[in-house]
């Protein structure tokens, strides 16, 4: 049962937006390797596991994201010798465009439904200053009351301060705000430390059932099930 909250704050990459996996595949093919069948869900799962291990080992989120792609590239069966070159190609694409370039299935309708049910909707993202611009390009910006971008804020998740700034903008105590994100060490633990209600969005089944006691959803429909209409 979801505690009574008035606002739902979202992570972006991995939650509202997903990776353009075809860009990763193209980078791997450019280095003479064909990704193995079924690599996408396997890569998403392995990537999060290597990312979690890096974060638990004390690496900062902006550095640890390289390990996410190490895991994803490894899941394609690519030889170790091309990992660095593939990552550089992926990073170059992200700088020029944006790798998280597709809206997660069902998410626009879910965001609209949550707003219609009486929840205020906002976003907090570890990003590079382009979060709002990118959402606008994808036609999703208007779904959010505001977007906090870690580059602009000078602080990134899991630091509780960025979550608390969102609560302050909403004019709500943290206990009345839920936070939905896809990485336990960044989103779930950060939100919980700030006093928000954490929700793990696990679209690829990256986490075992005992990985966290947070609320969890595997897709947009599951997310909506956690947040029934608010009483007037």
Task: Catalogue all structural domains in the chain, each as residue range(s) with its CATH number.
Answer: 7-17+102-226 (3.40.50.1000), 20-96 (1.10.150)
Write down the pLDDT at residue 9. Answer: 98
Write down the pLDDT at residue 30. Answer: 97
Contact of 183 with 168, CB cutoff 8 Å:
no
pLDDT in tens, 7-34: 999 999 999 999 999 999 999 999 999 9
Token pair for 232: 């007037």
Contact of 163 with 191, CB cutoff 8 Å:
yes
pLDDT in tens, 159-169: 999 999 999 99
- Look at residue 105 and give its three-state secondary structure: coil
For residue 124, the cross-strand partners are: 148
Residues shown for the chain: 232
Q: What's the pLDDT band for 63 if we cut at 50, 70, 90?
A: confident
How far CA 200 is from CA of 96, 106, 132, 221, in Å, comes to: 30, 17, 23, 14
Nearest to 144 by CA among 5, 12, 19, 33: 12
CA gyration radius for the chain?
17
Q: What phi, psi does 9 have (nearest 5°)?
A: -105, 135
State the chain's mean pLDDT as an integer.
94
Instruction: Report pTM.
Output: 0.94
Token pair for 180: 């939905």
Nearest to 103 by CA among 200, 9, 220, 5: 220
CA pair distance 26, 67, nearest whole angstrom = 19
pLDDT at 92 over 60: yes
Write down the pLDDT at residue 3. Answer: 63
Angle at 65 between CA 77 and CA 95, to 5 degrees: 95
Token pair for 136: 């606008």
Q: What's the pLDDT band for 40 if we cut at 50, 70, 90?
A: very high
For residue 123, the cross-strand partners are: 10, 147
Write down the pLDDT at residue 2. Answer: 59
pLDDT at 129 over 80: yes
Mean pLDDT over residues 161-186, rounded?
97
CA pair distance 224, 119, nearest whole angstrom = 11
Write down the pLDDT at residue 1. Answer: 44
Q: What's the pLDDT band for 232 if we cut at 50, 70, 90?
A: very low
CB count within 10 Å of CB 142 equals 10
CA 73 to chain CA mean position, Å: 19
Place of tokens 């990459």: 13
């Amino acid at each position: 049962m979801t505690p009574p909250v008035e606002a739902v704050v979202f992570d972006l990459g991995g939650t509202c937006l997903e990776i353009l996996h075809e860009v990763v595949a193209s980078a791997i093919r450019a280095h003479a390797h064909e990704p193995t069948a079924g690599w996408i869900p396997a890569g998403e799962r392995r990537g999060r596991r290597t990312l979690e291990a890096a974060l638990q080992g004390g690496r900062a989120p902006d550095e640890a994201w390289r390990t996410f792609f190490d895991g994803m590239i490894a899941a394609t069966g690519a030889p170790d010798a091309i990992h660095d070159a593939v990552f550089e190609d992926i990073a170059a694409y992200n700088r020029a465009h944006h790798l998280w370039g597709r809206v997660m299935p069902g998410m626009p309708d879910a965001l609209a439904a949550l707003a219609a049910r009486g929840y205020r909707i906002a976003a907090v993202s570890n990003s590079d200053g382009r979060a709002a611009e990118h959402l606008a390009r994808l036609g999703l910006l208007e779904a959010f009351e505001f977007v906090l971008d870690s580059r602009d804020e000078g602080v990134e998740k899991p630091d509780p301060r960025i979550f608390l700034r969102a609560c302050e903008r909403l004019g709500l105590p943290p206990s009345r705000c839920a936070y939905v994100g896809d990485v336990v060490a960044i989103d779930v633990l950060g939100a919980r430390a700030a006093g928000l209600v954490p929700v793990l969005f696990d679209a690829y089944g990256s986490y075992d059932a005992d990985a966290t006691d947070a609320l969890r959803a595997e897709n947009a429909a599951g997310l909506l099930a956690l947040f029934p209409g608010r009483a007037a």
